[in-house]
């Protein structure tokens, strides 16, 4: 199999083949055939797309109308499906389908019959296959026709004779008033079926597609093993399940194609099954007649395994060398895009994208931060004005993990990632479903795909008189949050907020508070419905005590030092005392400084690097212990 013209031996092998690959590998290979609207791969995709799109061809048993040595004719499409007639002339003579009536030619290998309306009984040409939409007395508004080839021995004979014919004779032999300028004419030894019949000029029609990005399949999740209660396996499997949900959605919505705007996974796989999962998912889509066009982003740009990955026929990974266009002529769509060649792409890739193709719905596929977004590196920078002025109908962007409709005329969309990976990626995650009618974007909708929902949950504890009242607030807030998850695992970082008398009881024992909060959650939901990643105590006492009046012990003096450091007053002696005290503690236990780590509060204090945030937390903890009531 010759895969790609730019790979050694056309990608057939990295070794030395035992037979020559052939001098025509530059033009006759899977990559170029995918881009050729006349090729057999394109034909099969068109065939699958039609069968997938029209229920009359896959779910309704056809009724035979003719079955002779010359003609086979079937009718399918009981209400509510449109009536379709499929007829094959098996002879080398014209045939008439008497009693069929008027209709419109939807499919035929003869291009001059493309979209033709038939007033009387249909005539079949020799060796012709025909799909006809029967007229039902109403004005017919059908999708743009798709051509299916029924190659016969007569057609093959004509093809073999091409070298002996003049160009005009070629045109006449197939009864096609088509332009020959675009017909490739290879040497006779390499003739193949993809050159038999050219497709008609594209005509933009109505279709649907899914726009996804940032799959991050099997993205490593750090820190889960530290918490024995963490549902580590379920969280690790979340990206795979979200991908499976994407496939199910595409099939259920009968979309025509799926675009993926980069970051299929993170770097080189830790497990080869990651690639197998991706191939299996893409295979399900292509077998359902759904094309997939994808690009690489910053996370999967340099993966050696990615470059050696063989995608299923019907799935296309666009080039990283230059912008590339994938055409779907059966529905009049052109997808333009370019993969990342390296992780750190600082060039404006969109500037090199080709001009829109006339007669096509033009879609730009780009992994970019655009003008920049918080928390994301500014890769492949570009402006909204630049994208809007490029002339495309839709820009399918990736890289930003929060969904954003940047512009609506034309549509420029970040769909977000399909599965949140940590608490800093909260909320519903999924893909964007786009409906196009008569060449215009008619509907853009977010569809949820995630199986683990990350959330920062703030619990208002204002006025809670004691610990039990604070925990009741937790139960109420957690119950409301679980109502919105539709059975997904809810992964929470919970923060208790507000001035309350329960502050001391909550802040005195942070680990105990976390366990009490988790127990309170189990009163409103089953185990496995949620996981509390962390509990932050951000409450404050109703009337915070001051340093004055506190016991003159170590804790009291330490609190006084903290007050002095945090209110800006110049109490250098107290600050130095805290620093010296922390350093003494560290020095007494050999190796403690290294064991605690450079960011431990004790080490920070000893080196005079305590942040205001740490000082506030230390103050609250000391106050809760000095004032237990």
Query: In which domain, by residue range, is 529 found?
Result: 452-540
Domain with 367 in it: what CATH number?
3.60.21.10
Q: Which residues are CB-neighbours of 501 under 8 A, at least 6 positions away?
A: 464, 465, 466, 541, 542
Q: Would you say residue 68 lies in a domain?
A: yes
Q: Would you say residue 3 lies in a domain?
A: no
DSSP-based three-state secondary structure for 217: strand
Q: Which of 448, 476, 507 is the last residue of a domain?
A: 448
432 and 305 co-located in one domain? yes
401 and 512 co-located in one domain? no
| pLDDT attached to residue 13 | 80
195 and 211 co-located in one domain? no
384: DSSP letter: H
585 and 440 co-located in one domain? no
Which tokens sit at 220? 């490593």
Q: Would you say residue 545 lies in a domain?
A: no
Q: Which of 506, 540, 574 is the last residue of a domain?
A: 540
* Number of helices and strands in the chain (H, E): 17, 23
- Which residue ranges in the chain fall short of pLDDT 70? 4, 6, 34-87, 89, 97, 99-121, 130-204, 221-228, 267-272, 301-308, 374-377, 543-629
String of DSSP letters for 104-136: EEEE-S-GGGTT-EESSS-EEPTT-EEEEEE--
Q: Would you say residue 13 lies in a domain?
A: no
The DSSP bridge partners found for residue 245 are none
442-462 CB burial, b ≥16 within 10 A, e <16 = eebebbbbbbbbbbebebebe
Q: Please report which residue ranges of 59-210 form alpha helices under DSSP H.
A: 153-160, 167-173
The DSSP bridge partners found for residue 19 are none
Q: Give the whole-angstrom CA distance, residue 358 versus residue 363.
A: 12
384 and 527 co-located in one domain? no
- CB atoms inside a 10 Å sphere around CB 300: 28
Q: Which residues are CB-neighbours of 526 under 8 A, at least 6 positions away?
A: none
Q: How much is the pTM?
A: 0.60
16: DSSP letter: -
441 and 477 co-located in one domain? no
499 and 420 co-located in one domain? no
272 and 185 co-located in one domain? no
Q: Give the whole-angstrom CA distance, residue 397 versus residue 262.
A: 9
Dihedral sign, Cα of residue 394, residue 217, residue 243, residue 146:
positive
What Cα–Cα distance (Å) separates residue 183 from each residue in 464, 544, 576? 80, 85, 85
444 and 311 co-located in one domain? yes
Q: Would you say residue 15 lies in a domain?
A: no
Which tokens sit at 436? 């196009």
Mean pLDDT of the chain: 73
Q: Would you say residue 329 lies in a domain?
A: yes
Residue in this structure with the two tokens 């333009």, named with its chain if needed: 336
381 and 247 co-located in one domain? yes
Domain with 123 in it: what CATH number?
2.60.40.1180
Q: Would you say residue 140 lies in a domain?
A: yes
Q: Give the whole-angstrom CA distance, residue 603 versus residue 597.
A: 7
90 and 174 co-located in one domain? yes
Q: Are 336 and 364 in contact (CB under 8 A)?
A: yes
Q: Would you say residue 548 lies in a domain?
A: no
Q: Which of 201, 235, 253 is the last residue of a domain?
A: 201
173 and 98 co-located in one domain? yes
| pLDDT attached to residue 168 | 34
Number of folded domains that form the chain: 4
């Amino acid at each position: 199999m010759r895969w790609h013209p730019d790979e050694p031996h056309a990608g057939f092998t990295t070794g030395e083949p035992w037979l020559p690959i052939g001098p025509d590998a530059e033009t006759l290979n899977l990559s170029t055939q995918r881009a050729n609207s006349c090729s057999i791969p394109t034909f099969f995709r068109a065939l699958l797309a039609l069968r997938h799109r029209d229920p009359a061809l896959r779910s309704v048993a056809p009724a035979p109308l003719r079955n002779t040595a010359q003609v086979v004719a079937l009718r399918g499409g009981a209400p509510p499906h449109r009536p379709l007639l499929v007829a094959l002339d098996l002879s080398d003579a014209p045939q008439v389908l008497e009693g069929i009536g008027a209709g419109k030619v939807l499919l035929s290998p003869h291009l001059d019959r493309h979209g033709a309306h038939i007033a009387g009984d249909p005539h079949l040409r020799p060796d012709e296959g025909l799909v006809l939409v029967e007229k039902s007395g109403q004005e017919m508004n059908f999708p743009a026709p798709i051509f299916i080839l029924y190659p016969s021995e007569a057609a093959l004979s004509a093809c073999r004779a091409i070298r002996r014919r003049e160009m005009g004779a070629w045109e006449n032999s197939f009864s096609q008033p088509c332009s020959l300028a675009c017909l490739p004419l290879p040497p006779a030894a390499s003739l193949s079926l993809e050159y038999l019949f050219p497709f008609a000029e594209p005509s933009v029609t109505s279709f649907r597609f899914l726009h996804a990005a940032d799959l991050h399949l099997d993205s490593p999740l750090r820190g889960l093993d530290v918490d024995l209660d963490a549902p580590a396996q379920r969280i690790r499997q979340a990206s795979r399940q979200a991908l499976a949900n994407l496939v199910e959605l595409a099939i259920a919505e009968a979309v025509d194609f799926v675009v993926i705007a980069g970051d299929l996974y993170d770097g080189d796989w830790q497990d080869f099954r990651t690639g197998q999962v991706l191939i299996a998912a893409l295979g399900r889509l292509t077998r359902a007649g759904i094309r997939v066009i994808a690009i690489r982003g910053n996370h999967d740009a340099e993966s050696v395994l990615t470059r050696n990955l063989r995608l299923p026929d019907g799935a296309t990974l666009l080039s990283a060398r230059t912008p590339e266009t994938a055409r779907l002529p059966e529905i009049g769509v052109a997808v333009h895009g370019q993969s990342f060649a390296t992780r750190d792409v600082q060039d404006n890739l969109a500037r090199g994208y080709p001009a829109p193709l006339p007669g096509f719905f033009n879609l730009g596929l780009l992994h970019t931060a655009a003008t920049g977004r918080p928390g994301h590196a500014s890769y492949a920078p570009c402006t909204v004005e630049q994208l809007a002025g490029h002339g495309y109908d839709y820009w399918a962007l990736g890289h930003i993990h929060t969904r954003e409709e940047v512009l609506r005329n034309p549509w420029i969309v970040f769909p977000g990632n399909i599965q949140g990976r940590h608490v800093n990626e909260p909320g519903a995650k999924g893909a964007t479903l786009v409906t196009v009618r008569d060449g215009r974007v008619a509907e853009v909708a977010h569809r949820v795909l995630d199986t683990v929902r990350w959330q920062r949950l703030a619990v208002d504890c204002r006025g809670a008189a004691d610990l039990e009242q604070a925990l009741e607030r937790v139960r109420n807030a957690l119950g409301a949050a679980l109502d919105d998850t539709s059975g997904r695992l809810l992964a929470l970082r919970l923060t208790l907020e507000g001035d309350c008398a329960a502050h001391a009881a909550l802040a005195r024992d942070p680990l105990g508070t976390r366990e009490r909060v988790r127990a309170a959650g189990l009163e409103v939901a089953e185990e496995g419905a949620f996981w509390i990643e962390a509990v932050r105590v951000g409450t404050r006492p109703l009337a915070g005590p001051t340093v004055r009046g506190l016991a003159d012990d170590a804790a009291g003096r330490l609190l006084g030092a903290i007050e002095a450091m945090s209110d800006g007053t110049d109490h250098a002696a107290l600050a130095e005392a805290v620093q010296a005290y922390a350093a003494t503690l560290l020095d007494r236990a050999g190796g403690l400084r290294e064991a605690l780590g450079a960011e431990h509060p004790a080490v920070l204090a000893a080196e005079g690097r305590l942040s205001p945030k740490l000082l506030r937390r230390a103050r609250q903890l000391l106050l809760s212990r000095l004032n237990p009531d």
